[in-house]
Amino acid sequence: MTNKNNEFNPFKSLLYIIAFILLFIVEQFPLSILVVTKKELGNNYQAYMKVAPYLSIILMIIAGIILYLVFRKAQKFPTKKFTLKTWITILISIVLIVAINYITLRFAKSSNANTDALMTLGNNNILILMLSIIVISPIFEELLFRGIFMNWFFPNHQVISAILSGIVFGFAHAPISANTDWAYAISKILLGIIIAFVYYKTKNIKANITVHFLNNVLSMVIPY
């Protein structure tokens, strides 16, 4: 007998794709309002930057609540507890990520759209940049690209789901264009796949958030 819950539903899949794109916009928007330059705003720059950081923080809180609530509904399986095996999985994944970054980022360009945006954000508000790198990005991106994506798309084919999650994650950081930094894109795709398998193995969103957090911290101290 065919399990109706496992049957492919094109309409439902389309709704998930649209919803995921909207959630991606929700996840990106709080920081995007700070990625502006004096040249773009002209005489309004100073007045804008007095208000924008507070608005950004409010939007972060709203975005975080939305992503968490959607994740809670998307994940159908019970979260497993952190164990020694969980920490071993985290450690192995970090070693793999550092090795991959060391190999791939040696061939990356000195700047790209993602790093340029972070530089602009840092010039406008260094505190929010640090908050984003260390706290916001690991939580928001893991809720979206692992917690929601992997439970919405191919949840019964977790290897496929993990690989697709990594690909989407990678190209979200390095969009395809004539100027795509492919070394940087590959590093992000592989990072996403590894973290996806952490979620798959541990069944605990906090495990992949931890890996993402450690990767971001190490990226600030290790000269790849």
* Rounded Cα gap, residues 4 and 176, in angstroms: 36
The count of domains in the chain is: 1
Share the mean pLDDT of the chain.
Answer: 91
> Structural domain of residue 25, as residue ranges?
4-221
In degrees and rounded to multiples of 5, residue 9 shows phi and psi of -120, 100
Task: Report pLDDT for 2.
Answer: 41
Average pLDDT over residues 156-161: 94
What are 48's two structure tokens? 């804008």
Dihedral (CA of 164, 169, 173, 175) sign: positive
In degrees and rounded to multiples of 5, residue 177 shows phi and psi of -160, -175
Task: Report pLDDT for 42.
Answer: 86
Pick from 75, 76, 65, 197: which is nearest to 139 by CA? Answer: 65
* Rounded Cα gap, residues 192 and 198, in angstroms: 10
Residue pLDDT, tens place only, 56-105? 999 999 999 999 999 999 999 999 999 999 999 999 999 999 999 999 99
Say if pTM beats, i.e. exceeds, 0.85.
yes
Residue pLDDT, tens place only, 134-150? 999 999 999 999 999 99
